[in-house]
């Protein structure tokens, strides 16, 4: 029975072991899950700084402003450049495009909100907001001209 796994527990016996049939009740996966849950709960209780909150809210709003401008431009004969959304817009499935845009945006926002303390996440948030602002300016210029 040396080194065999039985019912999820390791059974130790033989050379170097004075306790025959000693079973280990410790489950590393359960302990890891518990540590992860504790970390998640602690992070959810933290107050996110105003600058990060402003960036996240700006990203969320600009994402949907981009969607509505895209709907307008596509209805006027423009082509969607995002290949994931293009098939929805080509078939005039605007609700499907909105749902896909939401599904693609939400995980990124949750990751930014969860890992906001890391410097590279803050830089990435700043960069994405800048890109969306430039996209907004592009849409406005196309709307005016």
Residue with the larger pLDDT of the pair 62 and 20: 62
Q: What would the 3-class secondary structure string for 21-51 be?
A: CEECCCCHHHHHHHHHHHHHHHHHHCCCCHH
Structure confidence at residue 15 as a pLDDT band (50, 70, 90): very low
Q: Is 140 within 8 Å of 73 (Cβ atoms)?
A: no
The pLDDT, as a whole number, for residue 9 is 42
pLDDT in tens, 98-120: 999 999 999 999 999 999 999 99
Mean pLDDT over each residue of the chain, to the nearest integer: 83
CB atoms within 10 A of CB 87: 14
Q: Match 């996110």 to its residue by tokens.
A: 48
Q: DSSP for 84-114, please give it.
A: HHHHHHHTT-HHHHHHHHHHHHHHHHHHHHH
- pTM value surpassing 0.85: no
pLDDT in tens, 59-85: 999 999 999 999 999 999 989 999 999
């Amino acid at each position: 029975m040396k080194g065999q796994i039985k019912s999820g527990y390791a059974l130790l016996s033989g050379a170097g072991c004075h306790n025959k049939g000693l079973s280990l009740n410790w489950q590393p996966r359960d302990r890891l899950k518990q540590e992860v849950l504790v970390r998640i709960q602690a992070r959810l209780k933290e107050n996110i700084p105003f600058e990060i909150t402003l960036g996240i809210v700006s990203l969320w709003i600009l994402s949907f402003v981009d969607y509505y401008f895209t709907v307008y431009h596509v209805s006027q004969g423009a082509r969607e450049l995002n290949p994931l959304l293009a098939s929805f817009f080509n078939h005039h499935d605007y609700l499907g495009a909105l749902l896909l845009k939401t599904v693609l945006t939400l995980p990124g926002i949750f990751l930014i909100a969860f890992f906001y303390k890391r410097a590279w996440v803050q830089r990435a948030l700043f960069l994405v907001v800048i890109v969306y602002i430039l996209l907004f300016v592009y849409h406005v210029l196309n709307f005016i001209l």
